Every structure is written in C-alpha cells, then in structure tokens.
Amino acid sequence: MSFASVESLKSRLPGYARDLRRNLDSVIGASDLPLQRLWGTVLSAAIASRSAVVLRELAPEARAVLSPEAYRAAKTTASVMALNNVFFRTRHLLSDEEYGTLRAGLRMNVLADPGVDRTDFEFWAFAVSAVNGCGLCLDAHESALRGAGVEREVVQEAVRIAAVIQAVATTLEAESTLADLEGPGEPGGSGSTGSVGGPGDPGNLGK
C-alpha cells in the first residue's frame, strides 16, 4: 500500500540513505499489520523521534487513517512512555537495587485505561521504548504482547518500524543542519543529491 507521507519522506532522503527509502516501504508500505496498529506505531514512534520534519510528514496521514480515539491514544502512549522510559531506565541502571522498592509518586493512570485495544497500546509502548532505549520497559511490554498471543515475528515489527523512523529522523534532522553548512554540490553534502527538500533546493528540508 502506498502512503503519500511515506513517499514524501523518501523524496527528502539524500542519496546516501537510499536503504532507508526501501526500509520505509518495507515497514510501512508493505506492512501486514492492521492499520490501527501500524499507524499508531508510526505516530508514537515519530513523536518519540523528536523530529519536527518527520512528525510534520507522518502525523497528518496518521490522523486521517486512525479514529480520533486511536489518534489521541497514540499521542498519549508517546507521552506517558517518555516519562516511564526515563524513570524506569534509570532505576534499572542504578546499581543500588533499593531504588526499585521506592514509591514512584508519578501519575500514570492512562496505563490502566489507554483508550484503545490493550494489545495495540502495548505494541505502541514497545516501539516507543525501543526508541527511548529502556530495557526494563521493553521486557515488560514484550511480555504483555507475548502473553496476549502475539508472535515474536509480529512483535519485532514494532522494533523495525521504530528503528526505521528513528534513522529517518536522525538523517533528515542532520541534513537540515548540514544544508546550512555545506554549499551546493559539496562532496557528501545535501546539495550533491538534489533530493532533499526538493530538486536543487536542499534548504527546503526544514520548512
């Protein structure tokens, strides 16, 4: 299936990142996931990537595909996992295990009622945890997905989507900055491809 936002992102990627163009097609365009699970993952991972470029491209399509409830839930997932991933990753990394016995004292009520199918929420949370690098959270959400009967191959799709979106975000944000530093046609620069931000105009990337 072809999505306009994916095609637009592909057109922005420089020549050296051509593998990412194919990977976008693979993890989104050719995905067998149900649309709600797919686009909730895409949106929550895009938010977690912290890339305005990527979010501007993917969020409108996600909003068109998802129900209002699912769209809100995907944003909520990215928000609550931004909190959880920092908090629980830190607890996990600390050598003093006593921190794990302390009361968190943080509101996380949405975890009890995410507003969508529980498995979809766990899938999105797993993807965001991959972007944010919280091993403890990854284990918890993977366990919930496996407990719900989701096969490992399907669980891995969340990581594939998260990895590709993060890589695209990193590349495009770097190109946005480098476009201001590198002249047109400079070796390795944005201007050498003509594909970033429109033909012959690499400076359009961040607009």
Burial track 55-80 (b if 16+ CB lie within 10 A, e otherwise): bebbbebbbebbeeebbebbbbbbeb
Tokens of residue 111, six digits = 């975890």
Residue 1: partners with Cβ closer than 8 Å, 6 or more residues away:
29, 30
Active site residue 137: yes
Contact present, 76 and 115 (Cβ < 8 Å)? yes
Of residues 134, 136, 168, 172, which has the active-site annotation?
134
Of residues 137, 150, 161, 162, which has the active-site annotation?
137
- In terms of Cα–Cα distance, which of 169, 180, 184, 201 is closest to 59? 169
Tokens of residue 159, six digits = 């990581």
Angstrom distance (rounded) from CA 110 to CA 174: 34
Which residue numbers are catalytic? 134, 137
